[in-house]
Structure 1
Amino acid sequence: MSAFEEEDIPEPSLANIVDQESLKWVFVGGKGGVGKTTTSCCLSIQLAKARNKVLVVSTDPAHNLSDAFCQKFGRDPMLVNGFDNLYVMEIDANQDMEKIQDEMAATAGDEDQSMLQSLMGDLTSSIPGIDEAMSFSELMKQVQSMDYDIVVFDTAPTGHTLRLLSFPTIMEKALGKIMDLKDKFGGMLNSMSGLMGGAAGTGPNGESPTDMMLGKLTETREIINKVNTMFQDPTVTTFVCVCIPEFLSIFETERLVQELGKFGIDSHNVVINQVLFPEKDADELAEWYEGEKGSMSKECGEICAKMLARKKMQDKYIGQCFDLYGDDFHIILQPLLDHEVRGVEKLTEFSETLVNPVDLEVD
């Protein structure tokens, strides 16, 4: 490899994200169980060194940020112990939907409340993802009203993340369904409300249940479309793909990168976690093993042989990752440790490997 080619290869570090002051939104995603939360926490710690105020948000129904930082977080932003500028919040789509319904119901009569609940139930059952879309809209409305310099999203596994990208389409479907209901049954619904003892529309401006729902969905669509435009701006938003050096994870990362490209979302960083000896290759270890195995006990020999087999497998998939993305992506190899990365101290220590990686030689 020539010196010119080496200079052209992106640095194996997430320092490019920390240094890009224009960034406002950073998404961290990938297959379940590959270390997305650890990566999100470590990246946010590094960002907190360079920004005045950083927020980490979990959009994964199975929240892990509390476990990672060893501190209980909730729906409202909370300062991480030991920091004065790093905050965390964990959102729950189900709770957000209940909050949205309660807010709408508070302005409606008893009969219209029942109809609103029926409409919402029909929407969530017939349009998968509508609850997540409305919850995400409420989150973004809340976050945009705050003064955070940058927000890191610890996302759900890949399938949920891709659904997030399809929220604009989901909202159009929801609006279409409500419009159809209004056109077909609007008059009948108002008449039913009157016959049951209520006014024909008891919203704050005398709206019917369908009008109230239509108004809420229209507001949600406007927020999501505005946010989606920002997400497609590489100076404002980027996506960090996280994986481990195994076939299914690398394959899913490739699918994720392709889908992000279709939606116009910038992604030029891949973090590969749980790497055995990232500073060495399998050939070096095999040579060492051949020279030492004669003096090893049977148990040690078996352990080393299995470790070497795993290392060879990892090197194969890491090589494939460099073949796919090495010319354009920052590929960061994170070492497999002999302990869990939990708590502020260990997360802070491990976060350094994201910006000061092991010096690697890639053929």
Structure 2
Amino acid sequence: MQQQVEPTLKNVLENPSLKWIFVGGKGGVGKTTTSSSLATLFAKNGKKTIIISTDPAHNLSDCFDQKIGGQPTQIKGIENLSAMEIDPTVDPDKLKLPTLQGFMNDQATKSLLSELISSVPGIDEAMSFAELMNSVDEMKYDLIIFDTAPTGHTLRLLNFPNIMEKGLNKLVQLRYNFQNLASQFQGLFGSQEEFDQQMNQMFSKIETMKDTVTKVNAQMKDRNKTTFIGVCIPEFLSMYETERLVQELTKFKIDIHNIVINQVLFPDDQCKMCNARAKMQKKYLDQMIDLYDDFHVVIMPLQENEVRGIDGLKQFCELLLKPKSVPQF
């Protein structure tokens, strides 16, 4: 089946307005290899690029064959490329909310935040993501590529504005509860004026986070600045998750028009089992090409060796830019 649009990632590389690229899909389909290769391509083309892993099972260190941690790390051998692996969980200590001096001690504040975090499912990821976006916004990079967690985790993160709204509403309710409590036991908590001032300090941080959420949400929905690249392999479950991802991204109004299909087998006269497997893959490849006829669907051959280190990534890069058709038998 003939593809209608160019089956490469050149369209992404040639888009000068892109600021954020998310790469995601089912676990074990080559997301990190694809995102790392894409980051290498942009860096080689002169863009100051950082790749950030939000996957709890970090693989960037293995992919680049060097130690990468929670701070931007320069990739050896590629001048314009940095990488970092962030912890997707949040700690109340890291939220930097002002302590309510004279009203609550440090431990009480932490308890309040812990109660909030545990009371709304997913808010820990949402707050962590908001803090990350706030930090990322201050970084002086031309392009930021996110190597995301498997599909379900990624979709929860993309829903973080709604999660944050629920969390903020809970905080507001807690605030009113404390204000009522303070008015009843004013002598215990100090003057009403002092209490209000301390509460305002705390909620100033919350409002800042709310502004960050709004800003991030707007940029994620701007197709000129943000795009998502789906990664899969030619098997039923992976194809199913890719379609789920596309549907959810469309619902969230986040652009996706590129899909990379890894581990594709081509005909081999010397290997009957390989050919049998390749014919099975072809069924799913044809379905993908038909379903996503207006997408750039990139077909990537199964690699003979593990893609690791700069040399391996550079070879993978070249394949992302070379058009390949569905194998024929």
Residue 355 of structure 1 pairs with residue 321 of structure 2: yes
Q: Which residue of 2 aligns with 1:134?
A: 127
Q: Which residue of 1 aligns with 2:116?
A: 123
User: Rg larger in 1 or in 2?
Assistant: 1
Alignment partners' CA distance in 2, 1:46 and 1:86: 10
Is the 8 Å Cα contact of residues 31 and 252 (structure 1) preserved in structure 2? yes
1:361 and 1:346, CA in 2 relative to 1: closer, same or farther beyond 3 A?
A: closer
Residue 341 of structure 1 pairs with residue 307 of structure 2: yes
Q: Which residue of 2 aligns with 1:297?
A: none
Q: Which residue of 2 aligns with 1:252?
A: 241
Unpaired runs of at least 5, structure 2: none
Give secondary structure in 2 for the equivalent of 1:94. coil
Give secondary structure in 2 for the equivalent of 1:271. strand
Worse overlay, 233-242 or 308-317: 308-317
Q: Which residue of 1 aligns with 2:59?
A: 64
Q: Which residue of 1 aligns with 2:224?
A: 235
Within the candidate set 22, 30, 51, 1:27 is matched to 22
Alignment partners' CA distance in 1, 2:80 and 2:308: 20
Q: How far 1:97 sits from its partner (Å)? A: 4.6
Alignment partners' CA distance in 2, 1:61 and 1:344: 23
Is the 8 Å Cα contact of residues 112 and 193 (structure 1) preserved in structure 2? no
What TM-score comes out, normalization by structure 2 length?
0.91
1:134 and 1:87, CA in 2 relative to 1: closer, same or farther beyond 3 A?
A: same
- Please list the CA deviations of residues 341-363 of structure 1 after superposition, one character each: whole Å capped at 9, or x if unmatched: 11111111111111124355789
- 1:144-155 to 2 correspondences below 5 Å: 144-155=137-148
Letter matched to residue 246 of structure 2: V
Counting aligned pairs with the same residue, the percent is 50
Which has the larger helix fraction? 1
Within the candidate set 39, 42, 48, 2:37 is matched to 42
Letter matched to residue 123 of structure 1: L
Give secondary structure in 1 for the equivalent of 2:169. helix
Q: How far 1:224 sits from its partner (Å)? A: 1.4
What TM-score comes out, normalization by structure 1 length?
0.83
Alignment partners' CA distance in 2, 1:199 and 1:56: 49
Q: Which residue of 2 aligns with 1:206?
A: 197
Q: Which residue of 2 aligns with 1:309?
A: 276
1:157 and 1:169, CA in 2 relative to 1: closer, same or farther beyond 3 A?
A: same
Q: How far 1:125 sits from its partner (Å)? A: 1.3
Is the 8 Å Cα contact of residues 282 and 327 (structure 2) preserved in structure 1? no
Alignment partners' CA distance in 2, 1:261 and 1:93: 24
Within the candidate set 63, 70, 73, 2:68 is matched to 73
Q: How far 1:105 sits from its partner (Å)? A: 5.2
1:253 and 1:246, CA in 2 relative to 1: closer, same or farther beyond 3 A?
A: same
1:361 and 1:10, CA in 2 relative to 1: closer, same or farther beyond 3 A?
A: farther
Q: How far 1:186 sits from its partner (Å)? A: 2.6
Count of aligned pairs: 329
Give secondary structure in 2 for the equivalent of 1:9. coil
